[in-house]
Amino acid sequence: MKIGVVGLGRMGSQIARRVLGAGHELIVFNRTPDKGAPLREAGAAIATSLRDACAGRDVVITMLADDPALQAVAYAPDGLVASLPAGAIHMAMGTHGVPAIRALTKAHAQAGQTLVACPVLGRPDVAAAGQLFIIAAGPADALERCRPLLEAIGKHVFHAGMEPMGATAVKITNNFVLGCAIMAMGEAFSLVRKFGVDASLMHDVLSNGLLAAPAYKVYGRIISEERWDEVGYVARLGLKDANLALEAAEAVSVPLPSVNAYRDRLLGAIAHGDGDRDWAVMAREQARAAGL
């Protein structure tokens, strides 16, 4: 297929490589063009404008950091909505908000194009190995047409229905359930420490029982060893994700009290100067609230 990839950050570059490796004809575009150089060597064409990246494509993939970045490339005068051929598909693989995806679904439909939302679970090294989990939602025939790409990019595809924003909601939800787990550990460790028990012991107990999952192992270690500066995911992005969750939930009138609880700790952490540390600082803020 004729594919475009817009957004060549650490994730987007790996996704472009997977597409190329599966034998598709690829053109790539990035706001700062030097990001494309390694892909050119690997066989991709370099677009000098969004219009170039869209012209004659079957599918254009975007992998962008947030809603403003997505809206900028989608709604620019030569952006995806203006430049994609009728019948083409926009695969939006970033983590976006429900209102943004809902509006874009409509805009593409009015232009005779189709939006497929397919956010992913996994980091760049996982992407490089083609081992991402992909959550995909959109019209059935569009998903079917995207299948070769999805299979080239990910290990497994979860189908989240016909509405693109369904995939968005699932991805946002996955993030907030993780945030709740981190917060719960923060409450746990602050409590046992006040009884003179090491956080690391509590961590061992949690990691060996019903909660033996990577999240509890990884974040439990960060919290118990206070490794706030080994940033896997920064607190400010954790707050952004919590906001995406509350925004999505408001769109369908769902209260999320546990998200409120950890979002409040993130705000406190930022107020105390921890905004650029790992988002596990919500646990540090919980400890502060307990006088530790």
> How many Å apart are CA 102 and CA 122, to the nearest integer?
24
Q: Which of 184, 222, 244, 281 binds a copy of itself (CB under 8 A)?
A: 184
CB atoms within 10 A of CB 141: 10
CB 234 within 8 A of CB 279: yes
Residue 171 catalytic? yes
Return the beta strands (E) in the chain as ranges.
Answer: 2-6, 25-29, 45-46, 59-62, 89-92, 114-117, 120-121, 132-136, 154-159
Q: Which of 165, 280, 281, 283 binds a copy of itself (CB under 8 A)?
A: 165
Label residue 277 exposed, middle or buried (CB < 10 Å: 0-12, 13-18, 19+). Answer: buried
**Binding to a copy of itself in span 267-286, by CB under 8 A:** 267-268, 270-273, 275
Q: Which of 16, 107, 157, 183 binds a copy of itself (CB under 8 A)?
A: 183
Decide if residue 264 touches a copy of itself (CB under 8 A): yes
Decide if residue 138 touches a copy of itself (CB under 8 A): no
Decide if residue 156 touches a copy of itself (CB under 8 A): yes
Q: Which of 6, 20, 116, 135 binds a copy of itself (CB under 8 A)?
A: 135
Stretch that binds a copy of itself, among 22-30, 40-48, 105-113, 192-200 (CB under 8 A): 192-200
**Binding to a copy of itself in span 238-257, by CB under 8 A:** 239, 243, 245, 248-250, 252-257
**Catalytic residue selected from 171, 194, 217, 240:** 171
**Binding to a copy of itself in span 83-102, by CB under 8 A:** 98
Decide if residue 76 touches a copy of itself (CB under 8 A): no
> How many Å apart are CA 217 and CA 145, to the nearest integer?
39
Q: Which of 92, 142, 170, 244 binds a copy of itself (CB under 8 A)?
A: 170
> How many Å apart are CA 226 and CA 281, to the nearest integer?
9
> How many Å apart are CA 115 and CA 172, to the nearest integer?
18
Decide if residue 123 touches a copy of itself (CB under 8 A): no
CA neighbor of 7 nearest in space, from 38, 43, 44, 36: 36
Stretch that binds a copy of itself, among 70-78, 84-92, 108-116, 237-245 (CB under 8 A): 237-245
| Active-site amino acid positions | 171
